[in-house]
Amino acid sequence: MQKNPAKQKVIDAASSLFFQKGFQATTVRDIAEKAAVNVSSISYYFNSKQGLLEYAVTNYYEEYLKTIEEQLELLDTFTPLEILHELTLTIIQYKQMNHQLTCFIQRELSFDSVFVREMAVTYLAKENHYIQKAFNGALESHVKHDMKEYLFLQYKGMLITPYILHNDWKDQIIGEYSHQIFVKKYVLTIQKWIDFIVENEGETIGKQGNRYQSAKI
């Protein structure tokens, strides 16, 4: 589906302002001025600021999940470890390409609200299903089940940390090229962590478990 350029301008402007000022502090007039459109255009496209928020977040997640699904189809013949590596790249690329909206959404998800509950039921559960399936597939024969759950939490944390602690990165990411460099280096860091788990964690956990059992005896 071809995007409406005027509508997209409004979404981009709103994403930037929500990121900088927060949803409550941003007015419809602020968005209209930044997007260089009439206030009436926002009412026409989205009815209200809340409608604009819901549209932007819904569109973000639908495109995000579609990107993941299409990538998983392309990776059908890859090994489980390769699938997880490529999925990691796909996720970080998408989040970084939509950096400001990603940071805003991640911030909103830290609050308990109707908005968050709707996102959890509609989109976050589906995202979690795809990511956990790929993660478990890659670690299936390498790590015990009880440890896998904790490692999965660490993996998910790495996927969202740059967008929760975005102030720590703001001086490093200026311009399109720096975004590309960040994706390349950060994804490589996660992939190396995964490789370490796959290559060493099973043996390490086994040894630690044996030491723990010996200490109990």
User: pLDDT (tens digit, 9 = 90+) per residue, 48-64?
Assistant: 999 999 899 999 999 99
- Tokens 């290559």, residue? 199
Quickly list H helices, the chain.
5-21, 28-35, 39-46, 49-74, 80-97, 99-108, 114-119, 125-139, 145-164, 176-196, 202-216
Of 30-39, 70-79, 121-130, 159-168, where does mean pLDDT reach its minimum? 159-168
pLDDT band at 169 (very low <50, low <70, confident <90, very high): low
Q: Could you give all domains of the chain from N- to C-terminal order, each with its CATH number?
A: 1-47 (1.10.10.60), 53-216 (1.10.357)
CB 159, CB 91: distance < 8 Å: yes
Question: In the predicted model, is pLDDT for residue 187 greater than 90?
Answer: yes
Task: List, for residues 70-99, the tens digit of each pLDDT value.
Answer: 999 999 899 999 999 999 999 999 999 999
pLDDT attached to residue 214: 41
Measured distance CA(84)–CA(208) in Å, rounded:
26
Residue 53 carries which side chain, given as an amino acid letter?
L
Q: Name, of 37-46, 66-75, 101-110, the range with top average pLDDT.
A: 66-75
Measured distance CA(107)–CA(183) in Å, rounded:
20
Question: In the predicted model, is pLDDT for residue 114 greater than 50?
Answer: yes
Q: What are phi and psi of 78, to 5 degrees?
A: -80, 165
How big is the CA angle at 150 (ends 62 and 185), to the nearest 5 degrees? 60
Question: In the predicted model, is pLDDT for residue 216 greater than 80?
Answer: no
pLDDT over 90 percentage in the chain: 57
Higher pLDDT, 6 or 213: 6
Average pLDDT over residues 10-24: 92
Measured distance CA(11)–CA(46) in Å, rounded:
10
